[in-house]
Amino acid sequence: MPCLLLKGDIIESKTGTVRWALEVQKAIPDLSLFYFGKSNSLQKNQYLIKIAKIGSIYIILPTFSNLRNIAKLLKCNSVYFVDIPSLPFFLLIYFILKLFGRKIIFGLHGFIQRDNGIKGKIFRNVAKHETVHVLNVYDKNLMEKIGCKRIFLIPNFIYSNSSEIIRCNKFIVLFVGRLDINHKGIDLLVDIILKLKTNIEFHIIGNGEGKNVIEELAKKQTNVKYLGEVNDEVLSQEYARASLFILTSRYETFGYVLLEAQSHGLPIVAFDLPEIRDNIILGKLVRPFNTEDFARAILDFYNQYKLNKEKYYLIREEIRRKAYDIFNKQKIIDNILKLFL
């Protein structure tokens, strides 16, 4: 029996990694999902391992349900680590699974493989002896350099089976993501918006510590609409009505929002990060982290839209078609299944 081992709470967490694990399990019904957290799932083949944090260390609580679920985990013949828990916690679980002779697969959905500190060094020394799933060429090259032999480059897939494109009478630039500075570059987003004309409308979706910055921007700029967190239906409508999608991240592992955007036929403007370079069907990658170039790229797409709207929508249809072909769900799920063999 293969399984996924996830460090996030599948009920409380809203991260892209948790969403990926749930979508993979949905596509592979016999796949069990074990996760660390506090919230019980009522879904079949989903098993909670309750943990508590003491200082900076996580511990597994000595409860009957935990013992029962850990016993089930140890019966899995292949265990896929979806991202890596805190290091002492991870090493304990890893060595117990190895003691039981289980196949280990590491999914590099986070950034520990790039960590230059002791945590990254320990992880890389462990991972090079196991099967590794990477989402981008950058991490593939990194793992090859340290001597990892079993590397599988498998991108994310589009979760939906169909999507809509709505012809709107205005040019809307869409941003979707966590509102933080260090990772998602909210400071860069603000600078870009302030450089552009007010007849280009910006819609911003997301939450995080940068929320106040975006709220203040929306109050001052009539062309900025902050929607906060939205449900899947509203999100899909925003993608469908938008004209362009922007990503201002300083680093990524994949950037699933790029797939969501392109499944609705949206061109992309982003900084030229090696992690996302291969995932852009049509768009503009600009010098990191030059907001002048970024604003100019948005203006270029705006001018294309104004010049010939019909042609612009034909381009969007082509992006959508290619997105569903390249990031086809069944094709990629078939490749994920091969990891467990």
Contacts of 3 (CB under 8 A, 6+ apart): 31, 32, 33, 34, 73, 76, 78, 79, 80
Computed over every residue of the chain, the mean pLDDT equals 94
Q: Can you say whether residue 335 is alpha, beta or left, with left for phi > 0 and alpha for psi between -120 and 50 degrees?
A: alpha
**Residues in the chain, overall count:** 341
pLDDT of res. 140: 97
Nearest partner of 115 among 94, 136, 139, judged by Cα: 139
pLDDT reading at 141 higher than 80: yes
* Cβ neighbour number for residue 341 with a 10 Å cutoff: 8
pLDDT tens across 258-278, in order? 999 999 999 999 999 998 998
For 275-303, what is the mean pLDDT? 96
For 281-299, what is the mean pLDDT? 97
Q: Hunting for tokens 């079993």 — which residue is that?
A: 150
pLDDT tens across 93-131, in order? 999 999 999 999 999 999 999 999 999 999 999 999 999
pLDDT tens across 20-35, in order? 999 999 999 899 999 9
pLDDT of res. 15: 84
Q: Is 268 exposed, middle or buried (0-12, 13-18, 19+ CB in 10 A)?
A: buried
> May I ask the CATH architecture of the domain 2-157+329-339?
3-Layer(aba) Sandwich (3.40)
pLDDT tens across 219-264, in order? 999 999 999 999 999 999 999 999 999 999 999 989 899 999 999 9
Per-domain boundaries in the chain: 2-157+329-339, 172-326
pLDDT of res. 199: 84
Same fold, 2-157+329-339 and 172-326: yes
pLDDT tens across 59-93, in order? 889 999 999 999 999 999 999 999 887 777 889 89
pLDDT of res. 16: 87
Pick the CATH number of 172-326 from 3.50.40.10, 3.60.10.10, 1.10.3470.10, 3.40.50.2000: 3.40.50.2000
- Supply the DSSP symbol for 39: P
Neighbouring-strand partners of residue 261: none
